[in-house]
Chains A and B, each alone.
Chain A
Amino acid sequence: MATAVESFDDKARRAFDKIGKNDVYAGELLRHPVYTRFLHWMVALFFFLALFSGFGVYLPWLFRWFTPIFGGGALSRSMHPWFGLGFVVFFGLQVLNWVVPMRWTQADTKWMRNIRKVISGEEKLEPPETGFFNAGQKLQFWEIVGGSLVFLITGIILWIGAGTFGRWTVAGSYVLHDISALIMLGGIFVHIYLSTIGEPGTFEAMTRGAVSEAWAWTFHPAWYKDVTGRDPQQAHDEARRRMNAGEKRL
C-alpha cells in the first residue's frame, strides 16, 4: 500500500518537474517540487472558492456581501458543493504526497509542549530534531484531514437533502459543517500569517520552490541536516561569525 502510494507520488513529481521548473539559486535548498506546489495552490484556490461561496449561506449578515461574488445566492449555492469536491480531491492527493513527512513523532509532542515559547518569539532556532514539517504544521495538516472528512460527509448530506437523509440529519450536519469551516477559517489565518510576514522567507517555498539555507537551519534543522549533511547549529554559528566580522568591517 505504502509503496503503491510512494511510486504514484514519485511518478507525479517527475511528470510535474518536466512541465514546470524549480528556481534554486546558490545558498538555497529545494523545498517543494512543482507537483507539491501545484497541489497546494489548487487546494488553496478551491478552499477560497468554497469559503466565499459558503460565507453568504453561513450568516444572514454576510449574505448580501458574499453571494454577489458568484452571481447571486442561487449560483453560490449550486457551485459551493463542486468547489468543496475540488478541495477534497486536490487535498486528498496532497495527503498521499505528504503522508510520510507528516507522521507524528515523539519530538512533535515535545514541540507542542514548548509552543508558548514559539508564539512569544523567545525560541529563535527550532529544536534540532524538527524535520521537514514541525508539529504545528502537522497538527494543522491532520486537522484539515479530519475537517475535510467532516466536510465531505456532512456536505453530501446537505447536498442531497432532507428527502433522503431526514430532517434531523440535515439539521445536525449543517452545524458540524459550520464548525469544521470555523476551525479551518482560524487555521487559514495562522497559516497565511506564518507563511508570509510571520516567518519571512517562507512564501517562496510555495512559489518557486526554494528556501535559503539560513531559513532551513532556523526552522527545520533536522531537514537541513538530511539534505546538506552539515550540522545546522554549526552552520548557524559560522554564519553568525561571518555576520559579526562583516559588521566590524563596516
Chain B
Amino acid sequence: MSDRRALQIKQMSAHPGPIPGGEPGHEVQREFEVCKLVDTTTCIGCKACEVACVEWNDMPFSPTTFDNTYQTMPETRWNYWNLIKFNEHVRQDGTVQWLMRKDQCMHCADPGCLRACPADGAIVQYANGIVDFQQENCIGCEFCASGCPFDIPKFNQTTKKVYKCSLCSDRVGQGLEPACIKACPTGCLKFGSKDDMKFIANERATQLRDKFGFEHAGVYDPSSIGGTHVIYVLHDATQPELYGGLPSNPQIPWSYTIWKWLAKPVLGTFALFGLLGIFLHYVMVGPRRPQPEPLPKEDASGHRG
C-alpha cells in the first residue's frame, strides 16, 4: 500500500516545460494536502521535537548556545531544522508570558524559495504541499534564502548545499507522521490533512477566546503566501512577531515573479533579435571597408562617393 502514498510532484524550481507525472487533474494518484498544527498555547518547550528531528534525519551534533533563555540556539541551522523559539513577553498589565514557538519550514503553498531558485529541480513541491530540497540538484547559490520570508534555508559551507526541514517527506511518503509529531508529549503538535488541522486549530482558537480570556487568540495561516502547511495557534494572533519574529505579512520579493518568469524570457528573446539584426545589417547594408574601395559601377569615373 505504501507506493500508493508515494509523493506526487506539483511544482519544481526553474523547470521549463511540464512537470513529469501529469498536469493538475491528471495526477498519477490522488493526494490530499497535509498540514502540521503547532499549538503554541500547549507547548511546554521540552525540545523533544528538536531531538526527534536531529535523530530521524541523522544529523551530526550541533553545539548549543546558552543565552539566558530556554532557547537551544539563536536560529535554525543546516543540520538543526527544528527550533523552539523562546520569548519572555511582558504584557501591558505587567504579567509575564513565556511564548514558545516551534520554528521550522512553513511549507508555504506559494514557496518563495522555489520561486527564487534557478536550479532545475533543486526545490520541489509535492501535491500534498510538502516543499522539499533536492540537494543533488542544488547549486548552492542561496537565492532561496532571499526568497524565504521565514529565514529557513541554511547553507552548509562544506557541501555547498542548502538544507531545511523536509516535513519528513520520507516518513509522510510511507504513511507515517513527521518525527517531531511522534515525539511531542503534550499533543501540541498534530498532523493530518490541511482541512482537518484548520478545523482543529479554529476550534482551539475559539476555546481560547471564549473560555480562557485570550481575546486575540487565532490561527496563523498567512494568506499573503497562499497559506502554509504548518499552521500555528497563537494566544495573540494580532502580534505574531512576538513569537520569535514570525512575520505578520510574509512577502516574496516581486522580482522573483515578474523578473524571472516574464522579463527574463522577453529580454532573452530581444537579445536573439539583436543577433538577427546584426546579421541582417551585414547582409542588407554590408560592411564599412577601408577607403578607397572600388567605386560602384555606374560611378566609376573617379568622383569620390
Contact = CB atoms under 8 A, between A and B. Distances in A.
A134 to B, nearest CB: 11
Interface in B228-262: 253, 255-256, 259
Given A63-B119, A218-B291, 20 more contacts: A58-B264, A59-B264, A59-B268, A61-B268, A158-B141, A161-B142, A162-B142, A163-B142, A167-B147, A168-B253, A170-B145, A171-B147, A172-B253, A174-B255, A189-B275, A193-B278, A198-B281, A198-B282, A198-B288, A218-B290
Interface string A58-100: 1111111001000011101110000000000000000000000
A112 interface: no
A197 B293 CA distance: 16
Given A172-B255, A240-B304, A199 B287 contact: yes
Interface of B: 14-16, 116, 118-120, 122, 137-143, 145-149, 155, 160-161, 253, 255-256, 259, 264-265, 267-268, 270-271, 274-275, 278, 281-282, 285-294, 300, 302, 304-305
B287 A198 contact: yes
A125 B116 CA distance: 51
Interface of A: 56-64, 67, 72-74, 76-78, 118-121, 124-125, 158, 161-163, 167-168, 170-172, 174-175, 178, 182, 185-186, 189-190, 193, 197-201, 212, 214-215, 217-219, 236-237, 239-241, 243-244, 247
A218 B289 CA distance: 8
Contacts of A219: 288, 290
A124 B282 contact: no
Contacts of A162: 142, 145-146
B282 A193 contact: yes
B120 A64 contact: yes
A61 B302 CA distance: 55
Contacts of A57: 118-119, 139, 141
A74 B161 CA distance: 9
